[in-house]
Amino acid sequence: MKPDNHLETSECRAISQMLSRVGDKWTVMVVTFLGNETLRFSELRRRIGGISQKMLTTTLRNLERDGFVNRTVEPTSPPSVSYELTALGHELLEPVSRLADWTRDNSHRIEEARSHYDRLTSK
């Protein structure tokens, strides 16, 4: 962040919303698995592991609504539904992966701060 300005209050809210939007329990994982290939619903679910059908549906619907994911239905029987990232979805991954890099590089500093804090406050 530039030293001599800070975000406007309304922009802060927009950023918080985007962070929590993308930071919900499954979105990053779904977007990551769709990052390089188109996947069907059940294949996606199998790869993620541990996600309920309901939450995968919800997560994909929200991503579709925001224009991050495309949903394609093959009207076969039984139906086959596949998902892929849109251009916008790919673009979103860039700033998110920057934050991912930062998190990977600095998680040990956060861990240290936490254990230091906990040591001081627990006794």
Partner DNA sequence: CCGTATCCCCGCAGATACTG
Partner DNA sequence: CAGTATCTGCGGGGATACGG
User: Which residues inside 23-82 make contact with a second copy, applying CB under 8 A?
Assistant: 23-29, 32-33, 35-36, 48-49, 64-67
77, two tokens: 């029987």
Query: What residues between 99 and 118 interact with a second copy by CB under 8 A?
Result: 99-104, 106-107, 109-110, 112-114, 116-118
* Pairing of the two strands 80-85 and 39-40: antiparallel
Rg (CA), the chain: 19
Q: Which is nearer to a second copy, 23 or 80 (by Cβ)? A: 23
Q: How many residues bind DNA (CB under 7 A)?
A: 22
CA dist 24 and 61 (Å) reads: 14
* 52 scored as a contact of DNA (CB under 7 A): yes
Long-range contacts of 16-23 (CB under 8 A, 24+ apart): 21/66, 22/92, 22/96
Token pair for 31: 């977007």
> Does residue 49 touch DNA according to CB under 7 A?
no
Residue 38 in the binding site for DNA (CB under 7 A): no
Binding site for DNA (CB under 7 A): 24-26, 40-43, 51-55, 57, 60-61, 71, 73, 78-82
